């Protein structure tokens, strides 16, 4: 279950060498580098954190995870780590 996401400009994620967006079927305008998108804790990317739409990017590989953590500095904040503890 997804618990945490962080907003990024699409241009930041597009720096990933193997970035390939899935076609987005929405009534919104085309995605630009300035579009805000959301990176989830499962390393998938969506346009909206609340609307149930398809993933913009879901090719989760070790290289993608490394890019997210090292280049984008993506991490679950310490004050939310409790939500990931197994009981």
C-alpha–C-alpha distance, residues 17 and 75, integer Å: 21
Let me know how long the chain is: 87
**Selected residue with higher pLDDT from 69 and 79:** 69
CA distances from 5 to 41, 64, 73 (A): 6, 16, 13
Each residue of 13-65: pLDDT tens digit? 999 999 999 876 655 568 899 999 999 999 999 998 887 778 899 999 999 99
C-alpha–C-alpha distance, residues 56 and 37, integer Å: 9
Structure tokens at 39: 């990176």
Structure tokens at 85: 């503890």
pTM: 0.83
Domain that includes residue 24, residue range: 5-84
Q: How many separate domains does the chain show? A: 1
């Amino acid at each position: 279950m997804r618990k945490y996401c962080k907003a990024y400009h699409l241009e930041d994620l597009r720096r990933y060498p193997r970035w390939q967006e899935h076609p987005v079927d929405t009534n919104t305008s085309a995605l630009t580098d300035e579009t805000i998108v959301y990176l989830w804790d499962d390393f998938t990317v969506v346009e909206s954190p609340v609307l149930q739409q398809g993933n913009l990017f879901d090719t989760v590989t070790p290289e993608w995870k490394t890019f997210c953590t090292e280049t984008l500095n993506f991490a679950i904040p310490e004050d939310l780590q409790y939500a990931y503890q197994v009981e």
